[in-house]
Amino acid sequence: MSGNVYREKIEKLLVLADIQIDGSRPWDIQVHNEQLYSRAMSGGSLAFGQSYMDGWWDCEKLDEFFFRILKSRLEDMVNSWTWYFDALKAKWFNFQKPSRAYEIGRRHYDIGNDLFRLMLGQSMIYSCGYWETASTLDEAQEAKLELICRKLDLQPGMSLLDIGCGWGGAAKFAAEHYDVEVVGYTVSKEQVEFGKDLCRGLPVDLRLMDYRDIHGSFDRVLSVGMFEHVGYKNYSTFMNVVRTHLKEHGLFLLHTIGQHGATASPDAWMTRYIFPNSMLPQASQICSAIEDVFVLEDWHNFGADYYKTLIHWFKNFQDSWSVLEDRYDERFYRMWKYYLLSCAGSFRARKNQLWQLVLSPDGVPGGYRSPRYSKSAEPLVYV
């Protein structure tokens, strides 16, 4: 098949999303290498992302481009053989088994605290902010942490387990503002080292350890932005681990990105270059995993807030590139830009969601009332 035929096929698809090749609008793509069309048609999302990293095409507003692609569901029309192969691999193999647990730490979270510090801002929180009353990124992250602590009904003297504790921001906040003792687990060496300095002098113990090796008993359990690395073959194991270490009258808050749609295949480009061995859960998979283990007390979706969070992260990253470019090359810049803005477009299109679940072992006596605003916001709304 000639290159012109491939171009015609892609042009016809892009028209459905109101995108033009070499057009003048910010969401139109500018093609620099005519081999892009055959490469994209044969290699799917992996090849399309690789071609952007290689400089074969550009787009002034990548987030708007991906929003239009996903809103028009074009990805459903161009699944390549690689998509089906990836789906089969996800079905056959457990890529999140214990022997692979630390790979995500080495290949993503350990690539440089300098990068994450400049991108994430003062909070060093690598998850969706809560923008209900916030006007800055740091305010949105603090509002999210406060909301989580209130949903967990933290009380002075309680013990809190933080599974996937990141750089220690949530543990520090809970210890300082709610007077609790925190044990945090992460598979990232850099996160543990940074977090120990951040939480120095506080009743916080951060450990380099997989969630399957947790020990102890806790009044409350928290997991923010870690479940995306568990893998659907391990969801039941994860929930049973939490239940084993949660006291009888405790609460567990799970904060995770979720996918809209029934596919067991992770995005090939994202798993190759950004989050190895990772997979976004479906609502049905979570429900199946908690059945006979927990009572679902609350399910809160504020995925639209992730678009704003990601745009702030990208702006911080872009504004800091002059500081970072001595360590990270131009290909990394294009890869990271593609990552952040493609995700932003996905959340804007509501293809991806952000869920907070509150779970209890046997149901909260008298029922559970969940706050939707930080305590500084008025009015306070319960559901």
Do 136 and 206 lie in one domain? The reply is yes
Whether the upstream peptide bond of residue 361 has omega within 30° of 0, thus cis, is no
* 149 flagged as catalytic: no
pLDDT at 335 over 90: yes
Residue 21 forms part of a structural domain: yes
Structural domain boundaries, residue 58: 3-79
Do 348 and 296 lie in one domain? The reply is yes
pTM: 0.92
Let me know: does 206 contact 195? Beta carbons within 8 Å: yes
Do 110 and 37 lie in one domain? The reply is no
Q: What mean pLDDT comes out for the span 284-302? A: 97
CATH number assigned to the domain comprising residue 297? 3.40.50.150
Do 152 and 244 lie in one domain? The reply is yes
**Residue 246 β-bridge partners:** 218
pLDDT for residue 299: 98
Let me know: does 173 contact 142? Beta carbons within 8 Å: yes
Do 244 and 282 lie in one domain? The reply is yes
Q: Which residue reads 């927990």 in tokens?
A: 294
What is the gyration radius of the CA atoms in the chain, in angstroms?
21
Do 270 and 326 lie in one domain? The reply is yes
Do 203 and 335 lie in one domain? The reply is yes
pLDDT by residue (tens digit) across 79-125? 544 544 455 445 555 566 676 789 999 999 999 999 999 999 999 99
Catalytic choice (59, 165, 199, 343):
343
